Amino acid sequence: MAFSYITEQLDDRKTLARYRKRVCVQADVESQSTKINIAGKNYLNFSSNDYLGLNNHIQINKAMQEGLDKFGLSSCSSSLVTGFNYAHQALEDKICQWLNKPKCLLFSSGFAANTALFQTLGHDALQSNCQFYLDKLSHASMLDGAFSSKAKVKRFAHNDTTQLAKLLSASGDSNKLIASEGIFSMDGDQAEVNELKQLAKEHDAWLFLDDAHSIGVIGDQGQGSSAILNSNKTPAANIVMGTFGKAIATSGAFLACDEQLHDYLINFARHYIYSTAISPALAWATIKSIELIQQEQWRRDKIFELSDLLKSLLDPNIEVTPSASSIHAIIVGSEQKALKVSEQLKEQGIWLTAIRPPTVPVGSSRLRVTVCAQHNHNDIKHLAKCLNEALI
């Protein structure tokens, strides 16, 4: 029977408690709510990436409507045909000013941006002296892009800059790229960005940072990893990727870089050349979201205040990864136990997704808690109480 492996592999996933399925979230009429409605039941949501609580913000919604009125919903073409318009240019200029980068390119998603970057830098056999060095916990989009390119790929142990230094020293390649997430998506800890930048300088390498979970949350204006590097008078990363669909609360992504790489990507990045440009209305709304992020420090302060409260209320026997962000990984261990605890929490009105292999290593299944600016003290107290009861 053709493609019989499909059924076999799905059955294997079910046996290993790694089977995934979607749930449909009902429309939420309450602006900036921490609640979601699934199958007619309301839950307190601790799985959202809306870190700053900006989703459904009235000013962003208004900007979206303005964008619709000015430009329409669709760009109607790729950026290199007729799809690049004033809204896109204005958003790119806003990002460049925000992150102090010369140039910026917009993409439909962070996955597309990451894949485009790695495939394009390593796309040619003539560039066989190109080598990528990726943190072991780098996002799947970085790994897919790197391994589908023609560059050589090395992975260093998570945040192990000593091992990275040894790998760089042993390399004879002239084109080296160090790549890491700024904030790691499944653990919530921060990359050693200053050390990575120093190693890049010492070994004449470029530094790429995936700031999907840093942008908006880190820095006095939400600049992400760029804020850390610039605060120490160290030049920012050569290339920064950020997404709009998390803290920025719209949709899409960007790559910020220098002028030469910008032009190179326009000419050689297939994901950019052959994709319809993102909605100009979305781009217009994203500008307003970034302005709010720059102005409203209280949102970042609230995340760290509530995060500290959660850690103080959890039983000390519960294993929580060190975090510098909204993300707090509560390590459970087995897939079965993670699913069981997730179901127990649902009975208490809490939506907290179990994260299992292959997303995380075997034996490290977890509950990935995201603390957002719209949560309050009572939400955190209820979560901590339910987690203590379920895990201890």
Residues carrying an active site annotation: 49, 139, 181, 185, 210, 213, 246
Segment 94-112 mean pLDDT:
97
Tell me where in the chain the CATH 3.40.640.10 domain(s) lie: 58-295
Residue 283 predicted with pLDDT over 90? yes
Q: What kind of fold does domain 58-295 have according to CATH?
A: Aspartate Aminotransferase; domain 2 (3.40.640)
Q: Please provide the average confidence, as pLDDT, over all residues in the chain.
A: 94
CATH 3.40.30.10 for the 21-52+296-391 domain, yes or no: no
Q: Which residues pair with 35 in a beta bridge?
A: 44
pLDDT of residue 29: 47
- pLDDT single digits (tens) 293-340: 999 999 999 999 999 999 999 999 999 999 989 999 999 999 999 999
289 vs 233: CA distance, rounded Å: 27
Q: Would you state the structure tokens that stand for residue 128, as one six-digit string? A: 């066989």
- pLDDT single digits (tens) 329-358: 999 999 999 999 999 999 999 999 999 999
**Of 337, 364, 368, whose CA–CA distance to 350 is shortest?**
368
Tell me where in the chain the CATH 3.90.1150.10 domain(s) lie: 21-52+296-391
* Strand arrangement of the beta sheet that strand 354-355 belongs to: 327-333, 365-370, 354-355
Main-chain phi, psi angles of 214, to 5 degrees: -100, -40
Supply the angle between the helices 110-121 and 259-268 in degrees, to the nearest 10. Answer: 90
204 vs 117: CA distance, rounded Å: 19
22 vs 278: CA distance, rounded Å: 25
Beta carbons within 8 Å of 160's beta carbon, 6+ residues apart: none
pLDDT of residue 174: 84
**Of 387, 381, 332, 386, whose CA–CA distance to 354 is shortest?**
332
382 vs 360: CA distance, rounded Å: 27
Q: Would you state the structure tokens that stand for residue 122, as one six-digit string? A: 């390593």
pLDDT of residue 249: 96
33 vs 48: CA distance, rounded Å: 11
- 3-state SS, one letter per residue, for 49-109: CCCCCCCCCHHHHHHHHHHHHHHCCCCCCEHHHHHCCHHHHHHHHHHHHHHCCCEEEEECC
- pLDDT single digits (tens) 187-228: 999 999 999 999 999 999 999 999 999 999 999 999 999 888
Segment 144-168 mean pLDDT:
96
